[in-house]
Amino acid sequence: MLTGSASKGRTTYRVYYHCRSKCGARFRTEEVNSAFLEELMQFIPRNGYAEIFVQIVTDAYNNQTKELRDDRKELITAINQQTKRMENARELMLNNDITSADYRIIKEQCNEKITRLEVQLNHMTAQNAVILDIKPIAQQAIENLQELDKLYERAGVEGKRYLVGMLYPEKLTYSEGGCRTTKMNEAAELIYLKNKELQAKKMGRKSVLKTSSHNGWNMGLEPTTLGTTNRCSNQLS
């Protein structure tokens, strides 16, 4: 496990990541941080991906909430029908087509149904309160992803920790000048795979998603559990 510390030179301090054991592994923070930024760049969506991302997320969300919205419309329609029935009954009474007693019976029946329907509608409206206008949220999300490296560099320590922990549920391994991980966030993995697919198509190669099976994100890259010459797994905690 690597931890950070500073060592004082003649005039300045230099900061390193070094192994907690006595193996002597030590890396300059500039090198490790630079390698991590290169790793982070893999999750920045390629050109043309943003529009697809927004459309897919918007369509998927709207499909999931469609039933709730449709049920609300049906309740409103049913309430309007009962209100209209009362109005028609009142007109019939005024025209002496039905008696006032008949009108009262119809009115009571309609009011009872309207009351039940309004209770359901109020409950449905409370649920509708959590239905979002998802498109601008998706657009903001993809804009953030497109500046993922800049967001990371501008973030404070807590922000950096949050971002790393969100993308990588397990620890990162630094080896041979690069970062490796055995597991990543599922959403981040999908973006990574799509970027690889788009890159392969752009270069005129057959899509990597069609030519190889994959476990995690091992797609022809070096194994994610690389060893080191220092006989330790250099993991950033």
Range list of H helices, 95-132: 100-128
From 11-20, 173-182, 222-231, the region with the lowest mean pLDDT: 222-231
Do 208 and 174 sit in the same domain of this protein?
yes
Do 92 and 162 sit in the same domain of this protein?
no
- 141 lies in some domain: no
pLDDT digits (tens, 9 = 90+) for 188-207: 666 666 566 655 655 554 44
pLDDT digits (tens, 9 = 90+) for 95-132: 999 999 999 999 999 999 999 999 988 887 776 666 77
Give pTM, 2 decimals. Answer: 0.50
Looking at the structure of the chain, the number of domains it has is 2
What is the C-alpha separation between 102 and 89, in angstroms, rounded? 9
What is the C-alpha separation between 35 and 9, in angstroms, rounded? 24
Do 88 and 15 sit in the same domain of this protein?
no
Do 167 and 129 sit in the same domain of this protein?
no
Do 172 and 103 sit in the same domain of this protein?
no
Do 8 and 32 sit in the same domain of this protein?
yes
* Banded model confidence at residue 57, pLDDT cuts 50, 70, 90: confident
What is the C-alpha separation between 53 and 142, in angstroms, rounded? 7
Checking if the pLDDT of 219 tops 60, the result is no
Domain coverage including residue 9 = 2-44+147-236
Do 75 and 122 sit in the same domain of this protein?
yes
What is the C-alpha separation between 149 and 43, in angstroms, rounded? 9
Do 131 and 95 sit in the same domain of this protein?
yes
Identify the pLDDT of residue 235: 53
Do 118 and 161 sit in the same domain of this protein?
no
Domain boundary among the residues 135, 160, 193 is at: 135
Do 20 and 98 sit in the same domain of this protein?
no
* Banded model confidence at residue 60, pLDDT cuts 50, 70, 90: confident
Q: State the number of CA atoms in the 13 A half-sphere of 14 facing the CB.
A: 10
